[in-house]
A and B are shown apart, each in its own frame.
Chain A
Amino acid sequence: MANEDAGLRKQPSWYFTTAEPHKSRNDLLSFIKDVQRQRNGLSSEDIHGIAVAWGVTASEVYGIATFYSYLGTGPRARNVVRVCKSTPCCLKGCDRVAAEVERVLGIADGGVQADGSFSLSTVNCIGECDRAPAITVNEDVYQGVAAADVRNILSKYGAIQGGEDARA
């Protein structure tokens, strides 16, 4: 209880600014998604604040946030790069594409750039297999990606720093 009181006192800013009033338990998942989007991540303070606002335990919010691959705890990069690694994309060379993203961004699978610009994760099938390999950047889908295309695609989302070129 002491923790919940502390959470109430430090109501995070989103608590007051969300457009939707807190409706039913059914909207908790979509609400957590909204918070993650607005706050560029989910801090433990966010998780606690959501729990208080919705009258559920923090562990329940945490449980949801860690269950789904599009959610997660901690800060999120401004640009999220996902490289599909399922069989149809593998057969068409997704390993080479993933390696090139790693090289250009200077981060490994699961990594986030130090300045929070880009993150990279390899993910399971995203349903774009008719033109494999496929990657997504934020909500944009790119099909039939070759390693040579990677730099062009990523540079649409801002200056790329920290990669192999920068170190050279």
Chain B
Amino acid sequence: MPECRIVLRNCGIVDPASIESYRAHGGFQALRKAKQLTPDQVVQEVKRSGLRGRGGAGFPTGMKWELAARSPGEAHYVICNADEGEVGTFKDRYILQNDPYGLFEGIAIACHAIGARTAYLYLRAEYHHLLGQLLRALKETGDAELGCHIEVREGAGAYVCGEESALMESIEGKRGEARYRPPFPPNHGLWQEPTVINNVETLMNIVPIIQNGADWYKTIGSGPCPGTKAFSVTGDVERPGVYEVPFGTALAELVVDLAGAVNVKAVQVGGASGRVVPAAKLDTPLTFETVLGAGAVVVLDASRSMVELATQNVTFFAEESCGKCVPCREGNQILLHLLTTLQQRSGKEQDIDALRELSEVMMISCLCGLGQAAPNSVVDTLEHFGDEYYSMVRR
């Protein structure tokens, strides 16, 4: 199956440094169309399209917008989550670099839909090199064209800030620790006001949905997952890069046909918190219900150790845990200790049982998605590559 470019429609076509180029390619037409509709009509169109959040959770975007629009507050806010920290993900950077105006237009339509006058674009500190270009593009566009004000807020280096409640804490100038929920952002978000927080890629879908209609959008993709998904493919492939394919496309088409993987042993889909798919299951369709996350796809060939992969992932979470809840803060440290012991060939079989048990506890008891998803790769590699673990036990 070839690529299907909806989110990346302008990448490589529109000059990202020229608003005139964007206008010449139909820029801001969807925003003008949206402004002729009532905010509720816009919300209903997005709701009908079945668009789901591309940050990984897949929550229906229209429902989020409707909840926020109907929630009372002194002000409403839209946040664009550009804190793309998931390991192996760079599709949002690609979008920010190649189509900033398309993103602003999507944000502006979201603002119109929920009655927000201000939007925040939360840019991860690692993408500081994009800031100048983004600010120039924003200045060139102007608040009058957008009908709202977009302010760029920079992070300061914290993976957990990609989690929506931690991100809002960070915009408020605090430590980026996850909040207890409920209440959810559409009711009590930024400064406790109704807030819609959407991923960059989610917002990139808004312009085509408004322009072409929800019925058109629903013809692409697969059942409960309409539209396309942008994937960042890396690892043992010939052609790493960003690929956009309709939902339901088989993993093999993405990693083998498009990216040129050979001799595949396993594919981690969804970054460090993602699932590990063994080569035998490469026919798995890419949907929110199977494997997806934010669309990081790391291919590992036959030479790679799965215990090493799990250790790398757990090392990441042990460092990035915000430390607020015990199962995540302590759990990741203990997982790491157990894995390291195994790698040093001094572990026992009971350590493998402990890995399983602790993973289960973390998945049900951690406060936010970070901790809940942290043991994913341990669980999956144990299931599909358990022999590798047992071969490391001290004899």
A residues near B (Cβ < 8 Å) are 24-30, 33, 63-64, 67-71, 86-88, 90-91, 123-132, 136, 139-141
Name the distance in Å between A35's Cβ and chain B's nearest Cβ: 12
A71 adjacent to B157 (CB under 8 Å) = yes
A90 adjacent to B312 (CB under 8 Å) = yes
A129 adjacent to B173 (CB under 8 Å) = no
If the complex has contacts A126-B126, A129-B90, are A29 and B298 also in contact, measured as CB distance less than 8 A?
no
Q: Which residues of B contact A127 (CB under 8 A)?
A: 84-85, 89-90, 92-93, 124, 126-127
If the complex has contacts A88-B88, A91-B298, A124-B87, are A70 and B127 also in contact, measured as CB distance less than 8 A?
no
B232 adjacent to A130 (CB under 8 Å) = yes
Q: Whose C-beta in chain A lies nearest to the C-beta of B93?
A: A127
In B332-356, the 8 Å CB interface with A consists of none
Q: Which residues of B contact A141 (CB under 8 A)?
A: 129
24 interchain pairs (CB within 8 A)?
Answer: A26-B173, A27-B173, A28-B174, A29-B174, A30-B154, A63-B175, A69-B156, A70-B125, A87-B272, A87-B313, A88-B235, A91-B298, A91-B304, A124-B320, A125-B87, A125-B271, A127-B89, A127-B92, A127-B127, A129-B88, A130-B94, A130-B241, A132-B234, A140-B129
Distance, CA A28 to CA B92, complexed state (A): 27
Distance, CA A113 to CA B87, complexed state (A): 29
- From B153, B155, B232, A68 is in contact (CB under 8 Å) with B155
A30 adjacent to B173 (CB under 8 Å) = yes
Q: Which 8 A-B pairs have the closest CB atoms?
A: A68-B156, A69-B157, A70-B157, A88-B234, A28-B173, A67-B175, A125-B87, A29-B173
Q: Which residues of A contact B175 (CB under 8 A)?
A: 63-64, 67
A87 adjacent to B298 (CB under 8 Å) = yes
Q: Which residues of B contact A67 (CB under 8 A)?
A: 158, 175-177, 322
Q: Which residues of B contact A28 (CB under 8 A)?
A: 173-174
Interface digits, B221-255 against A, CB 8 Å rule (1 contact, 0 not)? Answer: 00000000000101110001110000000000000
Q: Which residues of B contact A125 (CB under 8 A)?
A: 85-89, 271-272
If the complex has contacts A86-B88, A125-B87, are A68 and B240 also in contact, measured as CB distance less than 8 A?
no
Q: Which residues of A contact B125 (CB under 8 A)?
A: 68-70
Distance, CA A106 to CA B135, complexed state (A): 38
Q: Which residues of B contact A25 (CB under 8 A)?
A: 172-173
Q: Whose C-beta in chain A lies nearest to the C-beta of B161?
A: A68
Interface digits, B302-330 against A, CB 8 Å rule (1 contact, 0 not)? Answer: 00100001001100100110100000000
In B129-174, the 8 Å CB interface with A consists of 129, 153-159, 170-174
Distance, CA A131 to CA B237, complexed state (A): 11
Chain B contact residues: helix, strand, loop or mixed: mixed
Does chain A have a CB within 8 A of B394?
no
Does chain A have a CB within 8 A of B128?
yes
Q: Which residues of A contact B129 (CB under 8 A)?
A: 139-141
In B78-104, the 8 Å CB interface with A consists of 84-90, 92-94
Interface digits, B180-217 against A, CB 8 Å rule (1 contact, 0 not)? Answer: 00000000000000000000000000000000000000
- From B126, B172, B234, B320, A130 is in contact (CB under 8 Å) with B234
Q: Which residues of B contact A136 (CB under 8 A)?
A: 126
Distance, CA A125 to CA B127, complexed state (A): 11
Name the distance in Å between B161's Cβ and chain A's nearest Cβ: 8
Q: Whose C-beta in chain A lies nearest to the C-beta of B299?
A: A91
Does chain A have a CB within 8 A of B378?
no
Q: Which residues of A contact B154 (CB under 8 A)?
A: 30, 33
Does chain A have a CB within 8 A of B300?
yes
- From B157, B234, B236, B320, A129 is in contact (CB under 8 Å) with B234
Q: Whose C-beta in chain A lies nearest to the C-beta of B84?
A: A127
Q: Whose C-beta in chain B lies nearest to the C-beta of A67?
A: B175
Distance, CA A55 to CA B154, complexed state (A): 23
Name the distance in Å between A142's Cβ and chain B's nearest Cβ: 11
- From A24, A131, A139, B128 is in contact (CB under 8 Å) with A139
B176 adjacent to A129 (CB under 8 Å) = no
Distance, CA A124 to CA B158, complexed state (A): 10
B174 adjacent to A64 (CB under 8 Å) = yes
Distance, CA A129 to CA B298, complexed state (A): 10
Distance, CA A67 to CA B178, complexed state (A): 13
B156 adjacent to A33 (CB under 8 Å) = yes
Name the distance in Å between A68's Cβ and chain B's nearest Cβ: 3
Q: Whose C-beta in chain B lies nearest to the C-beta of A66?
A: B175
Q: Which residues of B contact A63 (CB under 8 A)?
A: 175
Name the distance in Å between B75's Cβ and chain A's nearest Cβ: 13
Distance, CA A71 to CA B127, complexed state (A): 15
Does chain A have a CB within 8 A of B61?
no
Q: Which residues of B contact A130 (CB under 8 A)?
A: 90, 94, 232, 234, 240-242
Does chain A have a CB within 8 A of B268?
yes
Q: Which residues of B contact A26 (CB under 8 A)?
A: 171-173
